[in-house]
Amino acid sequence: MLGAARPVGAALIALALLVGCASEPPPPITTIGELGAAYLDAGGECAELVEQYRASDDEPAIARCGADTELILAADADQALAIATQRQLQEQTVLVSGRWVIRDARLATIQQAMGGQIVTLAAADGPANMADAIAFADDGVVAADPVPAGGEPEPRAPAGDVRDVLVVIDAQCEYCDRLLQAGGVLLTELADSGQARVAYLPVALGDSIESGYASTLGANALACVADQAPDAYRAFQTALLAHLQQHPFEAGEVAALAAEHDAQVAPCIESAQFAWWVRQATVRAIDEPLQGVEPLRGVPTVIVDGVTFAGDVGDAAALEAFIADPTQPAQP
């Protein structure tokens, strides 16, 4: 677990909102009891802290009080950074220092006594060409304005007299990789030949410390390419999903992979520039009907003219037949 945690530390620092540090560092905290005492001494007001069960000493020690206060003592600083990144990507604001992480309503006050960095996921505009999906037609990328921070994507114009295909993927998803390996070339050919408008929506459903938060940070990498090098998007998407089935997310490796596909987007990937958008786009996909059908139930999902593909995502022939006539049931 800690081997995968190390790469995402850079992402956390890049996303961090630094609010200041105490002038003198306090003594090291080595037990969850010491962390609880330090929290209360620093102005924390939730005194009914309850330590949570953990199956082994390798797991972080966690004490909670109500829904809004959480104290975490990790095995080491790498694990603490990984946990803070996880909370951050869940839109929770936390205070992190050394081995410990605190989530509480009074972080600014607590920080004055305990030091550390307050980190949060700040609202930001989304990528160009991705509102929320990036679409391709016979003349290339369908231009779309970025989704404003706190705003909604502009409705996409109808596809006209061609098939309207929406592909929803998670960069960490094994079956999404199978879909692109089997049907990626088909989807590209259908769009480029003018037989369909094909849109891709990356969402984040499968984040974990072990994967280096590959769902969110992988979707962010896709957004970076859509924003700055959209012509490279499809080839990079296929390569990225294949890569993430074998490796945890590591920003430098993914940036190099993007560069291999003519997308020079390292700063965007390393800073997780579109992590806020990923979170909001995922929530929209879960909460709102896709193509007017139903909210997202899982990945991969392929919808054609309002009909959801129910066949084998690894069967390119079945996918091709469905896109040709989505009214016909999938063949076993």
| Whether residues 57 and 145 fall in one domain | no
Range of the domain at 253: 134-324
Task: Find the CATH number of the domain harbouring 157.
Answer: 3.40.30.10
Final residue in a domain of this structure, among 95, 119, 143: 119
Distance CA 251, CA 296 (A): 28
Residue pair 32/105 in contact by the 8 Å Cβ criterion: no
SS3 107: helix
Confidence of residue 52 (pLDDT cuts 50, 70, 90): very high
Gyration radius from the chain CA atoms:
22
Strands 307-308 and 61-65: unpaired
Would residue 125 count as lying in a domain? Answer: no
Interval 184-211: pLDDT, tens: 999 999 999 999 999 999 999 999 888 9
Report CA-CA distances (Å) from 172 to 124, 176, 214, 241.
24, 8, 6, 7
Confidence of residue 20 (pLDDT cuts 50, 70, 90): very low
Would residue 330 count as lying in a domain? Answer: no
| Whether residues 155 and 258 fall in one domain | yes
Distance CA 265, CA 229 (A): 8
| Whether residues 114 and 140 fall in one domain | no
SS3 72: strand
Which of residues 89 and 100 earns the better pLDDT score?
100
Would residue 19 count as lying in a domain? Answer: yes
**What is the total count of domains within the chain?**
2
| Whether residues 140 and 108 fall in one domain | no
Strands 163-170 and 140-141: unpaired
Interval 98-120: pLDDT, tens: 999 999 999 999 999 999 999 99
Measured from the Cβ of residue 56, the count of other Cβ atoms closer than 10 Å reads 5
Final residue in a domain of this structure, among 49, 84, 119: 119
Would residue 68 count as lying in a domain? Answer: yes
| Whether residues 184 and 69 fall in one domain | no
DSSP string of 238-267?
A: HHHHHHHTTS---HHHHHHHHHHTT---HH
- pTM assigned to the model: 0.84
